[in-house]
């Protein structure tokens, strides 16, 4: 199988990641539960992972790195933990349902007002619109770092500057960019960065989290056992415990930690360069094929390695199935949990076929994929 669905999950993990999970499953106890070797080793594993993640995202405090099951959970915590009834929130057409559905729910159930910055036909946002959308009750801007459909990367610094100027909380969904392009939360002015471990970070499923700027107060979504301050009737107020109830996925986090080490040993710039080259190789190969329509903006200074397309008027599901069954190429058709983006691109009814590339893909993979698109289109 040629796996070109890395924007859904990176199937090929560095061998070090698998080794780290195996090692963890053989040796880790429960972190913060007593002082036996197994428990201490779990605590150290988690702390080391926090340090690496803090470094990766430019988060000054490792204890402000929170582990969650995935990006969706991080976004639910960030959104529900900061927005209250009567607030106004600015978000965008680029968002995934992991942002949209929590926001829509707050709109329905808690009288939260929403504004969405529209995307143009290339999938780009007008950055001026952010400032124009600010109202007296605006509390936060929640924005995707890159669309999971078009691969367009958003200029976070500009939005961060606007957020800072108006005292708004700036929440970034880095699900598609973490591990793929460098992010420094201080430089871009982000208050909360939400990420998942199993995509560009090449870690295990069941891992993800958030980096929080000091001073940002987030109400916990879940409360429960923490192994510390057990006689308090309320969740401890200090991060990370405040947002981490129950036993963490130390086994998966050990793998994530190894994945980040792998990424840092290569350098994100180099990973980005290779993935971009593979993406351009594919894009150049398919853009001139008659009947192929490609979405997104390939002239942007920064993109993640995604090419979404349709062929003639074929349904995206039918094309993706053919790619899988006839050519053994894994892609992702349909709506990609990005309903507003598809509406903006006019692809609501048939979706799109998304090809997404990783460090482990090769030029040979790309050539076979280009050939397959050619054959289906002809």
| Subset of 58-87 contacting its own copies (CB under 8 A) | 68-73, 75-76
- In the bound state with its own copies, the residue whose beta carbon lies nearer, of 138 and 241, is 241
Residues that contact its own copies, how many (by CB under 8 A): 86
Of residues 159, 210, 278, 337, which one binds its own copies by CB under 8 A? 337
- Chain position carrying tokens 């700027």: 213
We find the least distance from the C-beta atom of residue 133 to its own copies, in angstroms, to be 20
Of residues 127, 216, 245, 289, which one binds its own copies by CB under 8 A? 245
We find the least distance from the C-beta atom of residue 218 to its own copies, in angstroms, to be 14
Of residues 3, 116, 355, 357, which one binds its own copies by CB under 8 A? 3
- In the bound state with its own copies, the residue whose beta carbon lies nearer, of 38 and 182, is 38
User: What is the pairing mode between strands 138-144 and 88-92?
Assistant: parallel
DSSP structure string for 244-310 = --S---HHHHHHHHHHHHHHHHH-HHHHHHHHHHHHHHHHHHHTTSTTEEEES-TTSS-B-SEEEEE
Q: Does 16 bind its own copies (CB under 8 A)?
A: no
At residue 115, the 3 state secondary structure works out as strand
Site for its own copies in 148-207 (CB under 8 A): 196, 198, 204-207
What's the DSSP call for residue 140?
Answer: E
Using alpha carbons, select from 4, 10, 14 the residue that is nearest to residue 266.
Answer: 14
**Strand (E) or helix (H) holding 370:** helix 363-377
Interface segment toward its own copies; rule CB under 8 A; list 15-23, 261-269, 295-303, 370-378: 15-23
We find the least distance from the C-beta atom of residue 261 to its own copies, in angstroms, to be 16
Binding letters toward its own copies, positions 100-139, x by CB under 8 A: xxx-xx--x-------------------------------
- In the bound state with its own copies, the residue whose beta carbon lies nearer, of 58 and 334, is 334
User: How many Å apart are CA 135 and CA 368, to the nearest integer?
Assistant: 51
We find the least distance from the C-beta atom of residue 184 to its own copies, in angstroms, to be 25
The residues, any chain, with a CB within 8 Å of residue 35's CB and separated by 6 or more, are: none
Interface segment toward its own copies; rule CB under 8 A; list 132-140, 272-280, 290-298, 317-325: 317-325
- In the bound state with its own copies, the residue whose beta carbon lies nearer, of 183 and 352, is 352
Binding letters toward its own copies, positions 348-377, x by CB under 8 A: x-----------------------------
Using alpha carbons, select from 363, 370, 342, 378 the residue that is nearest to residue 123.
Answer: 342
Which residues lie across from 90 on neighbouring strands? 115, 141
Which residues lie across from 119 on neighbouring strands? 125
Site for its own copies in 38-57 (CB under 8 A): 38-39
Of residues 65, 112, 141, 338, which one binds its own copies by CB under 8 A? 338
Q: Does 210 bind its own copies (CB under 8 A)?
A: no
Q: Does 34 bind its own copies (CB under 8 A)?
A: yes
The residues, any chain, with a CB within 8 Å of residue 324's CB and separated by 6 or more, are: 330, 331
Distance of CA 55 to the CA centre of its chain: 17
User: Which two tokens mark 153?
Assistant: 């990367």
CB 332 within 8 Å of CB 320: yes
User: How many Å apart are CA 39 and CA 189, to the nearest integer?
Assistant: 36
We find the least distance from the C-beta atom of residue 121 to its own copies, in angstroms, to be 19
Q: Does 320 bind its own copies (CB under 8 A)?
A: yes
Angle between helices 37-57 and 250-266 (to 10 degrees): 40
Of residues 60, 135, 187, 224, which one binds its own copies by CB under 8 A? 224
Main-chain phi, psi angles of 164, to 5 degrees: -60, -45
Of residues 150, 241, 249, 272, which one binds its own copies by CB under 8 A? 249
We find the least distance from the C-beta atom of residue 127 to its own copies, in angstroms, to be 26
Interface segment toward its own copies; rule CB under 8 A; list 56-64, 84-92, 298-306, 328-336: 328-336
Handedness of CA 343, 346, 348, 351 (dihedral sign): negative
């Amino acid at each position: 199988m040629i796996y070109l669905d890395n924007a859904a999950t990176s199937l090929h993990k560095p061998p070090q990641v698998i080794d780290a999970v195996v090692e963890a499953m053989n040796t880790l106890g429960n972190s913060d539960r007593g002082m036996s070797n197994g428990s201490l080793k779990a605590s150290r594993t988690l702390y080391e992972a926090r340090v690496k993640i803090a470094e990766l995202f430019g988060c000054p405090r490792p204890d402000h790195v929170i582990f969650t099951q995935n990006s969706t959970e991080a976004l639910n915590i960030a959104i529900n933990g900061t927005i209250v009834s009567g607030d106004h929130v600015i978000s965008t057409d680029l968002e995934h349902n992991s942002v949209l559905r929590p926001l829509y729910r707050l709109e329905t159930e808690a009288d939260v007002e929403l504004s969405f910055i529209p995307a143009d036909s290339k999938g780009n946002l007008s950055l001026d619109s952010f400032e124009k959308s600010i109202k007296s009750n605006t509390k936060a801007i929640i924005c995707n770092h890159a669309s999971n459909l078009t691969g367009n990367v958003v200029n976070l610094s500009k939005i961060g500057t606007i957020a800072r100027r108006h005292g708004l909380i700036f929440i970034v969904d880095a699900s598609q960019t973490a591990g793929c392009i460098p992010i420094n939360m201080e430089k871009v002015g982000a208050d909360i960065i939400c990420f998942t471990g199993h995509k560009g970070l090449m870690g295990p499923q069941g891992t993800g989290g958030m980096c929080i700027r000091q001073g940002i107060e987030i109400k916990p979504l879940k409360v429960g056992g923490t192994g510390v301050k057990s006689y308090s009737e309320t969740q401890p107020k200090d991060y990370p415990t405040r947002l981490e109830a129950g036993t963490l996925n130390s086994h998966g986090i050990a793998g994530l930690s190894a994945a980040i080490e792998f990424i840092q040993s290569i350098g994100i710039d180099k990973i980005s360069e290779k993935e971009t080259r593979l993406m351009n190789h594919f894009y150049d190969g398919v853009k001139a094929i008659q009947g192929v329509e490609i979405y997104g903006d390939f002239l942007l200074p920064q993109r993640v390695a995604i090419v979404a397309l349709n062929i003639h008027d074929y349904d995206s599901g039918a094309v993706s199935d053919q790619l899988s069954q006839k050519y053994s190429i894994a892609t992702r058709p349909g709506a990609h949990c990005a309903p507003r983006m598809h509406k903006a691109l006019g692809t609501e009814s048939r979706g799109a076929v998304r090809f997404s590339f990783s460090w482990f893909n090769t030029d040979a993979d790309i050539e076979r994929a280009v050939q397959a698109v050619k054959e289906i289109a002809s």
